[in-house]
Amino acid sequence: MPSNAPQDEPDNPDDERKNPFETPTDGSDSSEESGEKAQAADGVSGPPRSGRSKGKAKKQRSFWKELPILIGIALVLAFVIQQFFARVYMIPSGSMEHTLHGCPGCTPDRILVDKLVYDFSDPDPGEVVVFRGPASWVGPGMADDGGNAVADFFQMVGSAFGLAPPDERDFVKRVIATGGQTVECCDEQNRVLVDGEPLDEPYLHLEGGRPQASFDQVTVPEGYVWVMGDNRNNSADSRYHNDGGGASGAVPVDNVIGKARLIVLPPSRWGIIHAENPQEQQAEAMSAPAWQQGIPLAAGALAAWPVLATGRRVGTAVGGALRRDR
């Protein structure tokens, strides 16, 4: 019986295109269509290579437009940081040898100065500080000169990198005594005395082996500090500017710019600037060493055991005698 299946099935006009065993007759049309779809999806018109080159050109132009803005921001940040937080200073002379190195014609130290610390506390003895010289140090004209802010900024940047000399009104010295203390020099061992007690100054450098010059007793006013250089025989410090006696060579605490923290340049001199308090060190030197101070405590601990054992034996014997009497 003949089959009527072909006649019963409806005609499908897409049978030829859906046949998996049949290859397309024209492949170029499909590739062109896919290329157009890809370009439409990417949103790029025209040849792809020309589009990429235009993108690169736009990026380069935007960078050069932003470069002046970046430079301006960097300069503002540098000004704010050095004006309020920390600043680099160059050591111009050898008055702080061997702690800080500086001399004409050589590579001087650059130090990082903390400008925030003295907003919360006053300078302590032994600290190395940078300060603005008062009238007795630089003269009334230079002390009262506020200067130009823009010129001061460029001078500050130049001095930090060694391109300009440091401000002649700024000095770096070590605090020896503070307000209310007396200071004088010297005792029989050529030591500075503060409140009548000799200082222990391990940082002291006596150039040429000569003793340091003596000066009469001075009482440091409240709100002032007495400063001296570590290179005691080559330092124009509070002694040198103490004209007519009194305490005219003392420096107002308000003139102190900051505390020297680190040597940042040259790399061979990197290190922390130590602030040994010469007054505390002398007090520690006059007291017995720690192991000697512990001798009484150790002796007491050793004697406690036999005393306790003996007491227990005596107590046991007395208790036994009392029980026998009962």
Cite the active site residues.
95, 173
C-alpha span between 166 and 186 (Å, rounded): 33
Return d(Cα 279, Cα 265) in angstroms, integer: 30
Distance, in Å, from the CA atom of 223 to the CA atom of 252, rounded to the nearest integer, reads: 6
Give the C-alpha distances (Å, rounded to integers) separating 67 from 63, 70, 74, 75.
6, 5, 11, 12
21, 76, 210, 248, 313 from 226: Cα distances, Å: 103, 36, 22, 10, 66
Is the CB of residue 227 less than 8 Å from the CB of residue 216?
no
**Local structure of residue 233 (DSSP, 8 states):** G
Phi, psi of 192, deg, nearest 5: -75, 140
DSSP structural state of residue 161: T
**Residue listed under structure tokens 């960097």:** 74
Tokens matching residue 116: 């925030």
Choose among 115, 218, 31: nearest CA to 228. 218
User: What b-and-e string marks burial along 54-78, b requiring 16 or more CB atoms within 10 Å of the CB?
Assistant: eeeeeeeeeeeeeeeeeeeeeeeee
| Cα–Cα dist 67/281, whole Å | 54
